[in-house]
Each structure stands twice: as structure tokens, then as C-alpha cells.
Amino acid sequence: MATMGSQAKTPASEGIPLRINSIQVEGALRTRESVVRQVLAPALAAQTFESVTQAVHQACCRLEQLEIMQDFQVTMDLASGPLAADHSVDVIIKAKEKGRFWARTGTELGNSEGSAHTSATFRNLFGGGERLALSGSVGTRTRLSQQANLTIPLGANPYRMFDLALYQQNQNFQATGSHDQLLRGLTVALKSNLPRFTTELGYTAVWRQITQLGERASPSIRQDADQDLKSAIFGTIFADRRDNAALPTTGYMWKLHTELAGIGGNVEFLKGEAHGQVNERLGSGFSVSTTGRIGALKPVNGASSRIPDRFLLGGPTSLRGFRPFGVGPRDGCDALGGDVFWSTGVSLFTPLPVIDSDKLKGHLWANAGGLSALSKNESIREALVGSLARPTSSVGAGLLFHHGLFRLELNLCLPLTKSTWDQARQGWQFGLGIDFL
């Protein structure tokens, strides 16, 4: 974070009136003057010693959050010019601009997926905190991903962004079916990234194709194995008050996402999804976590939904005790997904009797959920009520290890109820990810 140091001649009392006579930023070689003025404007309006020092400190933090400057040194001296007002100061901010380019390579672990990636980022591209990020990765579930992302701060505000992304992904579904999915698209969005609360409103256009059909490909997959263009507007609201995303012990989280497709293209539907989680410490190293998820997809004009748009359920991160995407409608070896889903889980995290560690915990859990396709003339409510009446469920116990940004689970699973098409996995199951049920 930015740090400030004040030299002699500055008033020592917070109650003394004080204003800024002039303010100068040294080291802003590639940053537009208009951007610096926007960042410093609140400081020029401050009228007391306390508000001036706070406003200057906040301006330094803002320049750092925009990834423009770093290593701040602030000098405040009583103004001495002939036009200087009483109780005014001249402020000099010395800093160093961050490097315009950086690159990295590494590995990433997500929900039951691993990947190797390389990325390059160009900072402060046009002098206003803009960033252009180019990235590529290969992985277990996403065979190949390439993306270019341009982020532009709005009003020199690091919490409000305009985002433009171009991407291509080749997603591998061979392990749970008999095909791949190729996606090429663009996304334009306005984002508000406040601490612990984010909103996003945007538009996406995606050309999609089911490819690499295997010999086992079912008639349902072959029927959908053509090209389409999804053109949709979407909105997301996300609030996160948990102490840790991967292994929370207190706080709550909720997320709402809505998508309307049919603004052009040849796919039309309305889709909504909600997630929620509440965590509570019980004392003596024990904590409990309760999670719920629900979603619905409604095609427009009586058309059937397409496989790339449907929900998938099952696996160590979404419904333990079942194979990845092993819950819901199937055709042969292929998971077809569904139009309506729900899932809920309760987890009790316990200390181990011999090992005293916040990273290694015991784990008792119970999961339940359902995934179904809408039949002709069936409402979402009817499908949801029917799914709730016939839940897929499991219980189990195991160990989990929290490794910074993700967590590992090894569970002994016992499926309790399932439908005829569900693929249960009784016995040991390994899970790796961030967002667990």
C-alpha cells in the first residue's frame, strides 16, 4: 500500500483548518494529466489537517490500485507564495511508475481441473490505468484456451471497469462423454468491483460447435453436433463476506446470475442461477457450512434447450458420492445436462485428535440435489417440485487439506438415493477445487 511521510512545517493538530495550495506529482511520466487530476480532486476539496492527510493517502492508494504507480513519498510544507492563503500547504508526491510489461508462466488448479498457462500483461496502456492481458493455457478439461482482455478504468476509479474480452476455448468432455466443445466469442461488460461486493452487466456473443465425436457418441449428442451462435445479455451480483473462499469458517456468500439469449443469433432462452452459503464457528476448532444452489433454463418459443447451455451436476465439488456430471439425464455414455437443478450440502469441519492444524481438518458431510430436463409443456415449477420429491443424496466423511487458494478432499462416500440414470460412486473419492458444495 501507499505510505506517506510528512516533513516539518506541517501543522501538528488535527483540528487546525488546512487546505492544499498546490499539489505536484513527480514520476508520472506516462500517465495522462487528466487522470492524475481526477485522482487528486478530493484532496483539493479537503479543509482540515486530518481530511487533507487522509485524502492524499487515499489518492496514493488509488494510483496504486490502478496499477499506475508505487513507492510513494509525500512531502507537505506550509505554502509560502504571495498568493498562498492562510493555513494552506504545498504537497509533493514522489513515486515510481510501475513497469508497463510483465509476463509469467505457471500452473492453476480449479474445480477438478488442472492447467498450465502463460500470460503477458501490458499496464497503463494509454496512460489511464488500462490493462491488456494476453493468456493461453492447456489443461485437463479445457484442452486449449486463448484470451485477450482489455480493461479500462472508468473515471480513474479502480472499482469501476469497462471490460472487453476475446477468447477461444476447446473444452474436453471425453472423460464424461464422447465429445469436445469449441467456443469462440467476445464479451463486453461493465464491472463494479467493490470490496466483497461485485456487480457485472454485459453482452456476450459466442460461436459454438460440438466436435471430436467419438465412436460412442449418442444420438442426442450427434443431433446437437452442429454450429450455433449465442447472443445474450447477462447480469451478475456477488457478495462475499467469508473469511476464506476455499475453506470458510465464518461469514456468508450469495450470488445471482441471469442471462437472456436471443438478441440476435439462433439460440433463445432465459436462464437464472442462485448460490448461497452460510458458515459458523462452533468453537474448539469446529465449524459448520451450509450451501444451497438452484438454477433454471427456459427456452423461448417452445424450442428445446441445447447441450452447451444446460446445467451439469455431480462430482466431488458439486455433489459428492457421484461421478463428474453423473447426475441427471443421460444417453449412453453422454451426460446431457438438464434445465432445472438444485443442490444443497451441510459440512462439519472438525479438528483432528492428534494433528493440531488449521490446514488439515476432518470432514463430515451430507449432500442432496437433483437435475431434470423440461418436458414439453412442463413448467419450471413442476419440474422443480418433481425433482425435490425424488432427490439424489449421499453422506460421507473424510479429510481435507487447505492449501492457500484451493483445497483438497479425500472422502469415503455412501450414496443414499439416486435415479436410474445417476452414476453413483461408492467408496473413496478425491476432490480438488475452490467452490465446494
Residue spans of the domains in the chain: they are 19-97, 173-433
pLDDT recorded at residue 351: 92
pLDDT recorded at residue 6: 38
Q: Comparing 141 with 71, which gets the higher pLDDT?
A: 71
Tens of pLDDT, residue by residue over 315-334, are 999 899 999 899 989 888 88
Beta strands (DSSP E) in 195-285 are 197-211, 227-240, 251-261, 269-283
List Cβ neighbours of 271 (8 Å cut-off, separation of 6 or more). 258, 259, 260, 261, 295, 296, 297, 298, 309
Mean pLDDT score, 40-45: 84
Q: Name the helix (H) or strand (E) containing 190.
A: strand 180-194
Q: Comparing 14 with 91, which gets the higher pLDDT?
A: 91
Q: Comparing 338 with 403, which gets the higher pLDDT?
A: 338
CA distances, 224 to each of 91, 158, 221 (Å): 65, 42, 5
| Res. 1: pLDDT tops 50 | no
State the architecture of 173-433 in CATH terms.
Beta Barrel (2.40)
C-alpha cell of 351?
Answer: 479438528
| Res. 295: pLDDT tops 50 | yes
pLDDT > 90: percent of the chain: 40
Q: Name the helix (H) or strand (E) containing 207.
A: strand 197-211
Residue 33's pLDDT band (cuts 50, 70, 90): confident
Nearest to residue 190, comparing CAs of 181, 201, 179? 201
Residue 14's pLDDT band (cuts 50, 70, 90): low
Which range among 8-17, 38-47, 346-355 shows the weakest confidence by mean pLDDT? 8-17
pLDDT recorded at residue 113: 63
Phi, psi dihedral angles at 45 (to 5 degrees): -90, -10
Nearest to residue 183, comparing CAs of 149, 211, 206? 206
| Res. 9: pLDDT tops 50 | no
Q: Do domains 19-97 and 173-433 have the same CATH topology?
A: no
Mean pLDDT score, 218-233: 87
Q: Comparing 340 with 138, which gets the higher pLDDT?
A: 340
| Res. 367: pLDDT tops 90 | yes
Tens of pLDDT, residue by residue over 147-206, are 999 999 998 888 999 999 999 988 888 777 788 888 999 999 999 988 889 999 999 999
Residue 271's pLDDT band (cuts 50, 70, 90): very high
Using an 8 Å Cβ cutoff, are 437 and 320 in contact? yes
User: What CATH code would you report for 19-97?
Assistant: 3.10.20.310
Rounded to the nearest integer, the mean pLDDT of the chain is 86
pLDDT recorded at residue 110: 59
pLDDT recorded at residue 2: 36
Could you say which DSSP state residue 35 is in?
A: H
Its pTM stands at 0.83
| Res. 3: pLDDT tops 60 | no
